[in-house]
Amino acid sequence: MKLVSSLLETSLPPPVHVGIIMDGNRRWAKGRGRPRIDGHLRGMEAVRKVVKGSIALGVEYLTLYAFSIENWKRPAAEIRSLMGLLRLYLRQEIKDLDQQGVQVLFIGHRTLLPDDIVSLIEEAEEQTKGNTNLNLVVALSYGARQEITAAAQSVARQVEAGELDVSEIDETVFMKHLETAGMPDPDLVIRTSGEQRISNFLLWQVAYAEFIFVDTLWPDFSDDDLREAINEYHRRERRYGAAG
Ligand code: IPE
Ligand code: IPE
Ligand code: MG
């Protein structure tokens, strides 16, 4: 096990996998009379803090919901500026993430993304491959229902090809066809901005995750808030349907 930070209230191990639905960027900007993009820009700074915090706290997997498949329905101008910020982030941060020992991975529909962003994503994955301080999974153009549907198609293709018998399909086999194959399920999911919904995030994987909803808007979220959420997680009792 990794060195567990003394920053937490207890000596319990930190959650292995934390997922965050980073919400509230536009409301943050609106509240300040600033353009939406300012909210997204400040949101990027929150990402930096939370990545550093996750490493310090000993979290092994951090999945950040950055752009949902449904977010393609937003106005073209907002999508353009979001893609612009993403380009900036990928160009500026990858070297730094690599130096921090972070392995960066992406889940989501790449075919919908601009070609140059797909290239940057591939380069980021290649450059940070094998780093072990933190696995940063970025859910981009991601939708859980689409992921599950694609997994069902992939399983069906194996059956059709005679490589798999229908009776062999179980949870373990099915999970191997998800984009998160090989990753542990999230232990803790945090959503910022006061909204209490999942918005198509990791539906299969969060079956037994603990959920923490905070009112803080994403650009204001910090490593202190992450620590507080983990302290709250440690106060919960996970029962998995068994006796308490
Ligand atoms: C989260 O903030 C970022 C993305 C979904 C891309 P929003 O842009 O959803 O901001 P709010 O929730 O409307 O305030
Ligand atoms: C969820 O936020 C998606 C991301 C944080 C990337 P949204 O703002 O898109 O979700 P809804 O529309 O409030 O459900
Ligand atoms: Mg939102």
pLDDT band at 50 (very low <50, low <70, confident <90, very high): very high
In a domain, 129, yes or no: yes
In a domain, 87, yes or no: yes
pLDDT digits over 138-177, tens only? 999 999 999 999 999 999 999 999 999 999 999 999 999 9
Evaluate: CB of 193 within 6 angstroms of ligand 1.
yes
Q: Tell me, in angstroms, the distance from the centre of ligand 1 to residue 26's CA.
A: 5
Asked whether residue 11 carries a pLDDT value surpassing 50, the answer given is: yes
Q: Give the DSSP letter string of 106-155.
A: EES-GGGS-HHHHHHHHHHHHHHTT--SEEEEEEEEE-HHHHHHHHHHHH
Please state, rounded to an integer, the average pLDDT across all residues of the chain: 96
Query: What single-letter DSSP state applies at residue 241?
Result: T
Question: Which atom of ligand 2 is least distant from the CA of 139?
Answer: 6
Q: What is the CATH number of the domain that holds 29?
A: 3.40.1180.10
Question: Which atom of ligand 2 is least distant from the CA of 65?
Answer: 6
Nearest to 179 by CA among 233, 116, 91, 110: 110
Asked whether residue 4 carries a pLDDT value surpassing 90, the answer given is: no
User: Is pTM, for the whole model, over 0.75?
Assistant: yes
Ligand 1 pocket mutation, candidates 193, 213, 214, criterion most atoms within 8 A of CB: 193
C-beta separation of 217 from 41 below 8 A? no
Q: What share of the chain is helix, strand, coil (3-state, %, to 5)?
A: 50, 15, 40
Reply yes or no on whether 71 is catalytic. yes
Q: Tell me, in angstroms, the distance from the centre of ligand 1 to residue 86's CA.
A: 14
In a domain, 243, yes or no: no
Q: Which of 38, 71, 98, 185 is catalytic?
A: 71
pLDDT digits over 89-102, tens only? 999 999 999 999 99
In a domain, 5, yes or no: no
C-beta separation of 140 from 47 below 8 A? no
- pLDDT for 6 equals 60
pLDDT digits over 15-49, tens only? 999 999 999 999 999 999 999 999 999 999 999 99
In a domain, 40, yes or no: yes
The mean pLDDT of 7-22, rounded to a whole number, is 94
In a domain, 90, yes or no: yes
Asked whether residue 1 carries a pLDDT value surpassing 50, the answer given is: no
Q: Tell me, in angstroms, the distance from the centre of ligand 3 to residue 25's CA.
A: 7
Asked whether residue 60 carries a pLDDT value surpassing 60, the answer given is: yes
Asked whether residue 125 carries a pLDDT value surpassing 60, the answer given is: yes
The mean pLDDT of 202-209, rounded to a whole number, is 98
pLDDT digits over 64-82, tens only? 999 999 999 999 999 999 9
In a domain, 3, yes or no: no
State the total domains in the chain: 1
Q: Tell me, in angstroms, the distance from the centre of ligand 3 to residue 144's CA.
A: 17
Query: What single-letter DSSP state applies at residue 33?
Result: T
Reply yes or no on whether 98 is catalytic. no
Q: Tell me which residue has its CA closest to atom 8 in ligand 2.
A: 23
In a domain, 170, yes or no: yes
Question: Which atom of ligand 1 is least distant from the CA of 22?
Answer: 1
Domain enclosing residue 109, as ranges: 22-235
Give the number of the ligand closest to the Cα of residue 78.
Answer: 1
